[in-house]
A and B are shown apart, each in its own frame.
Chain A
Amino acid sequence: MTFRIRQIEITADGRRIARDTDIAQAELSVGRAAESDIYLPDLAVELRQARIAELSGKRITVEATGTLGFTIDGAVTLAATINCGSGAELRFGNSRISVSLAADEAVLLTIERFDNASGESDEKRSFSLAGVMPSRRWTSWIAALLILGLFLVLPITSHLTREPDPKAQVIGDGSWSPGKLSLAHHALESRCEACHVRPFESVRDAACLSCHKDLHDHAPPQRLAGARADPPLGERFLRAVARQFGKPGPGACVECHREHASAGRMELPRQQFCAGCHGSLRDRLADTKLGNAGDFGMLHPQFTPQVVTDPGNRAMRRISLDDHPRENGGLFFPHKLHLESLGGVAKMGSTLRGERSYGNQLACKDCHHPTEDGVRFLPVRMERDCEACHSLVYDRVGPTFRTLKHGNIPQMIADLSLAQPSRVVVPIRPRPGRYAAGGAYYSDFTAPGGGSVLNRAFSRQGVCGECHTPVFAGGQTSVMPVTQPMRYMMNGWFSHKPHAQQKCSSCHHAEASTSASDLLLPKIAECRTCHLGESSRAPVPSGCAMCHSFHPAASAPRSAKPDRN
């Protein structure tokens, strides 16, 4: 086999010169040694680096004879077999030897020196993603500057340079809002600076009071300070930190009214908020009239309703239900008699069924009418609620009757004075039970001791005296003023409306009451069948705010108020 060695050289002016040398040997040596068949004067090449030998057919072998290998098609190896038909490229140091087959079947070894200046670092870079991705450093800078510009510099600049006009809005501070404002403050959603008045200053009460002008203090500040229980060590520390950061102390509006919590109603204060002071109030405020209250189910004083104690001057006093208060509203009225399922009243009621909405017996609703809002009940009115049975007819003229006017005593005296005793309707029956002919029912103007018509009317059995207590004042006969309180709990809120599915008798035991002085209010124990503390498993877990308002007001607490938009 013939090896044809083609040496490519480049002249000074850049021309390529190929010189062919044919060597008819079975084996060639490659190295830096001068006697090598393929002489490579390159310090990176060993003196005797490799041997090229012919193999059968068109194949040759290349073997390393020193310690260094050689490169074939880019890969370093110590021995290789090459099919000259398909060729290969060997590399020794800075020389490339490409193996191929010449037209005359000689093995052509083309030797060419090359400049080894190709940057390896460039190749490494080509393998890494750096070639196809934007620079991490620039991406970082751009992202950071964009975020700082949009979310910090823009809003702060806009805030500091805005016009004093209250309608001027701060640009970009919407991105600072951590959550929606409550329903009541929804209109302020894009007006952060309405509450956050000064930079780096926490929201102050003054900002709240600028709109909420008619709010009352819970108690004088000194009293509040005295009432507050000493917080535990951890919380004291946190308050000290909060003070350092300029947060307003306990008692500030924002301590209780947390904003940015959600878009619904602002959360009601938790029981713990009240119990913090009221749970052990008496320990700190010796002169307080309030009992300790920390949980409706566990720690809450008995109700102390405001009861009429002296009807004459309508004097009222708060008395605990535990002290069995008696009410004196100035009326005689036995609930039991009126609610009995049998007897005269029931009979009377059923007789009147045609013209009134009475049933087989009287029910609460026949006399007690709720207020329009359903919260309470209106006072009972004689004309509407009693007169169907308790007729004030006193005279009959032909086919018609004359009736006394309720509530006007001088008029009544005048009317009765002019009535002809012979004509005064005096049925001869005690009441209730028996009826005059035709079913009509008349008052009894008789008195056990006889006397004038007027005296008979005021007597205990008389038309006035059966309900009212006669008094003699200012030279005139009159009756005790009647007081029907619509509200007993002056500091707690109770609405009948949410209790509409209950029967009246489940709380008010009227069917057993024989006297109007029975105060038919349920005690706390009865409420506790459904209502227990906020975190209880009762049917209705009830926090303080369900009945009480922090800011003293006669109206309903916020829990009972409808949503404001």
Chain B
Amino acid sequence: MASTPHAGMRADHKAVADHDGFLRHARFRWIKVALVVCLIALIGYFAADVKPRPYGGSWYGYTLGTAGVLLIFWLALLGIRKRAMTAGRWSLKAWTSAHVYLGLALVVIATLHTGFQFGWNVHTLAYALMMLVIASGIYGAAVYAVLPSTLSSNREQLTLSQMVEGIRAIDRQLHEAAQPLTHSYTEVVLAASEESPFATSLWSRLSGKYPHCATARALTAFQNVASSPDTGPAFATVETLLIRRKAQLDRLRRQTRLKALLEIWLYLHIPGTIALIAALTAHIVSVFYYW
């Protein structure tokens, strides 16, 4: 597709366009397409004289339903399409841009398809899953627009393994520096250096709150001791190392939090999509089974 005779002529234009993200792609081409699609769906909804009331089984309902299901399958194909990065008119970026805006248009198409008839049934389940997937997608697009710059500024040109290695380096120094200390102090130092920097709880990952942080506890213990007269030079060294460990840990945790915020939606978006396709299958088959 990229090998059109005009490819060279368009190179300049493309070079400029390439700096735009998928949201602004081609001067918002897909938001315009999506708006036109919504407008047509809405006009049709109000123009169609559906008796006795608008519902999914009317001829207009079937039209919207067919459009909706085709759109859903196409949107889901991004999961396969994204594995092949290509350029040109149907570049991955164009595809992603269309995915976002047509996905939003699906809210209008599918809601009109329901005719605002909801209940505790498989049909509304499919609708709810679809809305969940779209809502998580909106979140995903929003965090992709906002978070990556925060993420890289937090990193300060460190690689992720350097972040971990930095903490390990401090841990090794802690191990040496704490040698002269009595057991009650080596215990808290050990607890701090043995603590994994990565939280195992989703809540800590997302909120960045670590109420049981061993490093913070050790630091508090040493800061209390540091004020007493009989503290040796090792106390001060360990305390400094603990302060550094805490600072590095905080940065790493900010990083994991940002990454968690950046990734969490996919845990709804992807399984939600697969569940939606299953519910959609049940919805369509059941409608024709009890035709």
Contacts and interface: CB of A to CB of B under 8 A. Distances in A.
20 contacts: A73-B169, A73-B170, A73-B248, A86-B236, A89-B170, A89-B172, A91-B165, A123-B161, A129-B260, A132-B200, A132-B205, A133-B264, A143-B274, A147-B122, A175-B125, A261-B53, A261-B117, A267-B52, A272-B49, A272-B51
A74 B167 contact: yes
Interface stretch (B96-104, B186-194, B214-222, B280-288): B280-288
Contact of A87 (B119, B173, B290, B291): B173
B264 to A, nearest CB: 6
Given A74-B165, A127-B160, A136-B270, A147 B49 contact: no
Contacts of A269: 51
A98 B172 contact: yes
Contact of A148 (B172, B205, B282): B282
A127 B256 contact: yes
Contacts of A129: 202, 205, 259-260, 263-264, 267
A246 interface: yes
A141 B260 contact: no
Interface string B241-253: 1001000100000
A196 B291 contact: yes
Contact of B52 (A176, A192, A270): A270
Contact of B266 (A136, A155, A178, A272): A136
Contacts of A78: none
Given A136-B266, A140-B271, A201-B291, A152 B281 contact: yes
B92 interface: no
Interface residues of B, number: 70
B55 A261 contact: yes
A144 B162 contact: no
B277 interface: yes
Q: Which of B59, B122, B177, B248 has the most CB of A within 10 A?
A: B122
A128 interface: yes
A91 B170 CA distance: 12
Contacts of A147: 122, 125, 275, 278-279, 282
B14 interface: no
A100 B173 contact: yes
B57 interface: yes
Q: Which of B160, B162, B176, B291 has the most CB of A within 10 A?
A: B291
Contact of B282 (A88, A152, A180): A152
B291 A200 contact: yes
Contacts of A429: none
Interface string A269-290: 1101100000000000000000
B166 to A, nearest CB: 2
Given A128-B263, A129-B267, A140-B271, A120 B162 contact: no
Q: Which of A75, A124, A192 has the most CB of B within 10 A?
A: A75
B141 interface: no
Interface in A77-130: 85-89, 91, 96, 98, 100, 110, 118, 120, 123-124, 126-129
What's the interface size class on A, roughly? Answer: 35 or more
Q: Which of B55, B56, B173, B270 has the most CB of A within 10 A?
A: B173
Contacts of B158: 74-76
Contact of B241 (A86, A131, A152, A258): A86
B201 interface: yes
Given A87-B241, A89-B172, A238-B59, A74 B248 contact: yes
A136 B79 CA distance: 13
Q: Which of A177, A201, A242 has the most CB of B within 10 A?
A: A177
B44 to A, nearest CB: 11
Contacts of A87: 173, 176-177, 237, 241
A550 B117 CA distance: 28
